[in-house]
Amino acid sequence: MATFVDRVQLQVVGGSGGNGAASIRREKFKPLAGPDGADGGRGGDVILEVDASTTTLLAYHHRPHQRATGGGFGKGDLRHGARGEDLVLPVPDGTVVTGADGTVLADLVGIGTRFVAARGGSGGLGNAALANAKRKAPGFALLGEPGEERTLVLELKTVADVALVGYPSAGKSSLIAAMSAARPKIADYPFTTLVPNLGVVEAGQHRYTIADVPGLIPGASQGKGLGLDFLRHIERCHVLVHVLDTASLESDRDPAGDLATIEHELASYAASLDEETEGRVPLMERPTVIVLNKTDLPDGADMADMIRDQLAERQVPIVDVSAVSHKGLRELSFVLGDLVEQARAALPEPEPAPIVLAPRAVDEKGFRVVTEQYEGGTAFRVQGDKPERWVHQTDFTNDEAVGFLADRLAKLGVEDELYASGAVAGSTVLIGPGDDAVVFDWEPTMVGGAELLGRRGTDDRLEERHRPTREAKKEQQRARTAARMDRIAAMEAERKAGHWSDPSDGATR
């Protein structure tokens, strides 16, 4: 079973907000003393936090779905719902967070650094908060908003001052074990190192971290071997150390050829990094040290003597070492310490993140209406943060809550915009994105406000009946009176003619 994972896809969902309460306070001699429904609690956030004891993303490989706790429901007597607990997910130092579209959202470096991956939804307002001079006792409350849902990619990039690069079995693991307290796996076959290993080196006043990462082979920049799983771990280092095997048993390899191959793969990979690593020295321009390893062996010492002059043309430090006998390790530790200190001194001073102000334009509506095809006809979709949020907050089983939504949309200008877009009575209107939108037939007469409300929880504008006007009632009364007078006149004419009849049944008496 895998014990190290450095790239995972994570589904995070913030906690849903609690629903508000619709309650009426009851007191002695006052059965209806006013609304006292409280607000629901806010849902918890999902937070990524750099933790010193976390070195792998393995936990999220096995549990890729993470959800925060929802907020509590509001209650009567103005008892507000509890806030949902935040879900804090520990991640290793050097974790890069990207969105599903590849956009970098956060670069988590430094113990304690935090990033809110998914925000919790706001709690719904209770009817006490919705009461006003016209709507004194609302019979509804707002629902809590759902939490933010996101798909993230977490990628671990090792944070080390020095990176050891080289062919498999070049002796990188033995070297870091000899220079620090790290104890990586060491064996006599290629690709022994499958995960990055970090060690801390102390040389006089110098203290720095050194990383032993999986071996490199030709084509690694295209994904061969451990490929990109290796290369991403050298992006943050200050110094590159090329570890060359001077006692290789392979006849078709030599240290100079190995160095050329490694540099070619690094250059190919660096071409896609330099634009992304703003503020850092380009990968191929960073300080470099060449380490000739295994010079304690006769063949290794002879090979080192043969190629030293050729490598000296690069004008970089060259150190002969042996991880077994510890030959040259002290010298190497001080050389690396000096280079790391110089690289740290050259780093720009960290600047606080600028505060970006993005005020809304004076004429910005906060929504827009687009026309699209829906089920073979033309529909009008309302898009915008406020309308979509209000729809999520509405209890569509409560007529008064639906009427309140209609008032809010009309006040925002949605009705006017629908008119301007060509909508007419009966047009299909959608509010919200995708298949989760609320669909209804638009009725433009849904205007007015609290003065048209009926009893609590109802809205006369949504009733399936039409209330006659005063003039219509008068006309109906005049028609009934005229019909009665005509009936009486007919009966009087029959009586005078000597016939008594009831026009209602046709009988003659």
Does the annotation list 448 as a binding residue? no
Does the annotation list 474 as a binding residue? no
Residue 443 has phi, psi (to 5 degrees) of -120, 100
Token readout for 266 is: 């690094």
Contacts 24+ apart (CB under 8 A), 380-384: 380/418, 380/421, 380/422, 380/423, 380/427, 380/428, 380/429, 380/430, 380/442, 381/429, 381/430, 381/431, 381/437, 382/409, 382/414, 382/417, 382/418, 382/429, 382/430, 382/431, 382/432, 383/432, 383/433
Does the annotation list 166 as a binding residue? yes
CA atoms within 13 A on the CB side of 345: 6
Does the annotation list 169 as a binding residue? yes
Measured CA to CA in angstroms, residue 285 lies from 292, 342, 502, 503 at distances of 21, 14, 116, 113
SS3 375: coil
Does the annotation list 215 as a binding residue? yes
Does the annotation list 293 as a binding residue? yes
Does the annotation list 295 as a binding residue? yes
Does the annotation list 192 as a binding residue? yes
Instruction: Look at strands 206-212 and 318-320 and give their pairing.
Output: unpaired
Strand partners, 116: 47
Does the annotation list 212 as a binding residue? yes
Token readout for 431 is: 């509010």
Q: End-to-end distance of the chain based on CA atoms, in angstroms?
A: 108
Place of tokens 């003659």: 508
Place of tokens 């509405």: 394
In angstroms, rounded to a whole number, what is the distance separating the alpha carbons of residues 402 and 405? Answer: 5
DSSP string spanning 2-25?
-----EEEEEEEPPPPPPP---B-
- In single-letter form, the type of residue at position 246 comes to T
Does the annotation list 269 as a binding residue? no
Does the annotation list 194 as a binding residue? yes
H-run or E-run covering 383: strand 377-383
In angstroms, rounded to a whole number, what is the distance separating the alpha carbons of residues 118 and 12? Answer: 6
Token readout for 200 is: 């801390």
Does the annotation list 172 as a binding residue? yes
Measured CA to CA in angstroms, residue 439 lies from 426, 431, 448 at distances of 12, 7, 22
CB 81 within 8 A of CB 123: yes
Does the annotation list 170 as a binding residue? yes
Q: Which residues line the annotated binding site for Mg(2+)? A: 173, 193
**Binding site residues for GTP, as ranges?**
166-173, 191-195, 212-215, 293-296, 322-324
Annotated binding site: 166-173, 191-195, 212-215, 293-296, 322-324
